[in-house]
Amino acid sequence: MIVKKFGHCYIDDVAFGHHMAEPPLSGDGLHTHEMCEIYCVFKGSGRYIIEGSEHKLEKGKLILMRPGEFHKAHLEQEIYESFVIHFLPEIVDSFDPERKLLRPFFERPLGKNNVYSRHNTANTAIYELFNKMDECRGNNYDNGVKVKALLFSVLIELNSLFDAKLYDDTSVRNKQTSEIVEYINSHLTGELSIDKLCTKFFISRTQLNRKFKEATGTSVWEYVTAKRLMNARNLILGGTGSVEAASSTGFGDYSAFYRAYVKKYGVKPSDKTDTIKYNLKEEML
C-alpha cells in the first residue's frame, strides 16, 4: 500500500494526519489505544468496525473513538483519503475539569452513537477547521497553539451535534454478539471464561468464537486480555502497584499478566514510564 502524507503534525498531547493511500489497500488492523480519535473520510469507501458494530465508510463521514474502543477499517480497492486526529483526554482538563467537551466520546455505549454522516455535519464548521489544522505543518510552538485551539473548536461543534442527537445509528450489528460485548465489558474485573459465556448466552464454543470473530475481528480472549491490560496500565500510571493492578483488573495469574503486559507495552509492569504520549506520536509516523 502506497501512502502519501500531506498534513502531518505531532504536538505534545495532540497529533493529526492527512493521508492518501493508493491500491492495493490493506486497511487498519483491529486495534485499540489510550487516545481519543476523530476519523474523517475525504475520499474512498469501505467498512469500519467498532466494538462489533459495522458502519459504511463514505465521503464526509466522521467517526469518534474513545480510549479502549476496538476499531478496524476494511477499505475498498480505490484511492482512499482520510484525516485523523488523536489526542489525550486530559488535554481539556485545565479549563474543563468535568470533561464536558468529551461527552460525545464518553457519554454513550461502546461502539454506538459515535458516527456522523456528511448530511448532518454539512452545516457545521468542522471541515473548515480540519482544513485550517491541515495548514499547521511542523512540530513547533506556534503550530501547537493553533492545532489545540482548532481542536477545541471541533469539540464544541461535535457537542452541538451530540446534543441534537444527530449521530448516525444505521450500523449493522448482531444483537446477540452486541449483548456479549456489553456483558464482557461490564464484567472485565470479575471471573470470565468461554464456558461461562456459552452458558450465559446459550451458545456453543464454536458458534461463540465464530460470531465474535466475524463481528469484532478478534477472538473473545484476545479482546478480554487487551481490555484488561489497558485498565491495568491506567491503574499503574496512576500509582497502583503492578500486582494489585493485575488482580483488580481480572488477571488471576500474575505471570500471565506480566508476559502479556511486556508484549503489549514493551516495558515491565513495575516501570511507570508513560508510553502513552510515545504511542500518540507513533500513530502519526
Task: Identify whether residues 71 and 155 lie together within a single domain.
Answer: yes
pLDDT score recorded for residue 285: 45
pLDDT score recorded for residue 34: 85
pLDDT at residue 281 tops 90: no
For residue 202, being part of any structural domain is answered with yes
Domain count along the chain: 2
Task: Identify whether residues 128 and 233 lie together within a single domain.
Answer: no
Say which residue, 90 or 283, is predicted with more confidence: 90
Q: What distance in Å separates the CA atoms of residue 215 and residue 265, rounded to the nearest whole number?
A: 26
Which DSSP string corresponds to 227-262?
HHHHHHHHHHHTT--HHHHHHHTT-S-HHHHHHHHH
For residue 284, being part of any structural domain is answered with no
Which DSSP string corresponds to 130-180?
HHHHHT--SSSHHHHHHHHHHHHHHHHHHHHHHHTT------B--HHHHHH
Residue 278: CB atoms within 10 Å: 11
Domain boundary among 137, 156, 171: 171
Task: Identify whether residues 7 and 76 lie together within a single domain.
Answer: yes
pLDDT at residue 160 tops 70: yes
Q: What distance in Å separates the CA atoms of residue 243 and residue 276, rounded to the nearest whole number?
A: 21
Domain boundary among 135, 155, 171: 171
For helices 220-237 and 175-186, the axis angle rounded to 10 degrees is 30
CATH number of the domain bearing residue 105: 2.60.120.280
pLDDT at residue 94 tops 60: yes
Task: Identify whether residues 54 and 190 lie together within a single domain.
Answer: no
Cell of 180: 456479549
Residue numbers of the domain that contains 32: 2-171
Give per-residue pLDDT as tens, 46-58.
888 888 888 888 8
Question: What is the residue whose three cell numbers read 465521503?
Answer: 59
CB 33 within 8 A of CB 158: no
